A and B are shown apart, each in its own frame.
Chain A
Amino acid sequence: MNRNGRPSGRTARVFGMTAAIGILAFAARGEVQVGQALPDLKAAGLEGRLPDVVGRVVLVDLWASWCAPCRKSFPFLDTLQRDFGPKGFVVLGVNLDDEAEDMRRFLEANPVAFAVVRDASKQYVERLGIDRMPTSLLVDRKGVVRFIHAGFHEGKTETVLRSEIARLLEEP
């Protein structure tokens, strides 16, 4: 502070640098936003067989077997795959369990028609930067994230996702 009670040049510089570091740290979080391209799935080192997603509308669902709403969403995701699959739609489940065995056991008890891969290193989810489980990213035919849905609420989530998928499938 100087005699007038205003910040001195040095104080202002310190504040400026702190703010710049904060902004850079915020920008470096790597959170994927609507309108951005979905990070490359093939380069993410995901375990399992990736489905063909080129030119298709894709719902990337991040889930874990210990997450109750994720488990609840599975029958609905399976229905989505069956209903919209023939029109060029793909559901891709990305599992985030620490143990592969937990995922395997869950899928054995709850078999689904859609593809499931595992992000063992958690690098892909770190890049996506989600803040809730489950989170679904709806990607258009060009590979751009168009809609992000966090959590699963029966009825509400189902209506919203169905209408968004139908809208994206109509796009060329």
Chain B
Amino acid sequence: MCTTQGPRRVAAALLAVAAWAVLSGCATVKPWERGTLARYGMRPDRDPLEDSLSEHIYFTREAAAGGRGVGGGGCGCN
């Protein structure tokens, strides 16, 4: 007779409930729902001054520059 079955089942059930609770928070943004993401205010390079300052800091610390841009815009198109 195995006496560890009960706690194991409880642990498995708790794990399943925790996984369900965490995974149910994930949602896929569909391609046609990305209008807000494509707005100008969502762009990381919307402020030229802040962008140049950040780039300067990055360059002085990393001795490298650029490589931040992503093609296709904020909507993730193309």
Interfacial residues, chain A to chain B (CB-CB below 8 A): 62, 64, 66-70, 96-98, 102, 122, 125, 130-135, 151-153
- For residue B31, CB closer than 8 A to chain A, the reply is yes
A133-B34 contact given A69-B78, A151-B78, CB 8 Å threshold: yes
A62-B75 Cα distance, complex, nearest whole Å = 14
Q: Which of B44-78 contact A (CB under 8 A)?
A: 72-73, 75, 77-78
Number of interface residues of B (CB under 8 A): 11
Distance (whole angstroms) from the CB of B36 to the closest CB of chain A: 9
Task: Knowing A122-B32, A133-B34 are in contact, say whether A66-B39 is a contact too (CB < 8 A).
Answer: yes
Q: How far is the CA of A153 from the CA of B77 in the complex (A)?
A: 11
Across the two chains, which residue of chain B brings its CB closest to A122? B32
Q: For residue B51, give the distance in angstroms from its CB to the closest CB of chain A.
A: 20
Query: What CA separation (Å) do A122 and B30 show in the bound complex?
Result: 11
Chain A neighbourhood of B77, CB < 8 A: 67-70, 132-134, 151
Summed over the interface, the residue pairs from A and B with CB atoms below 8 Å come to a total of: 47
Once bound together, how far apart are the Cα atoms of A134 and B73, in whole Å?
13
Shortest Cβ distance from A129 into B: residue: B30
| Smallest beta-carbon distance B68→chain A, Å | 18
Instruction: Please give the distance in Å from B41's CB to the nearest CB on chain A.
Output: 12
Q: Which of chain A's residues have a CB closer than 8 A to the CB of B73?
A: 67-68
Evaluate contact between B31 and A97: CB separation under 8 angstroms. no
Chain A contacts of B31 at CB under 8 A?
130-133, 135
Q: 8 tightest A-B contacts by CB?
A: A96-B32, A66-B38, A68-B73, A151-B78, A66-B35, A133-B31, A69-B78, A133-B77
How far does the alpha carbon of A85 sit from the alpha carbon of B35 in the complex, in Å?
31
Bound CA–CA A64/B30 (angstroms): 13
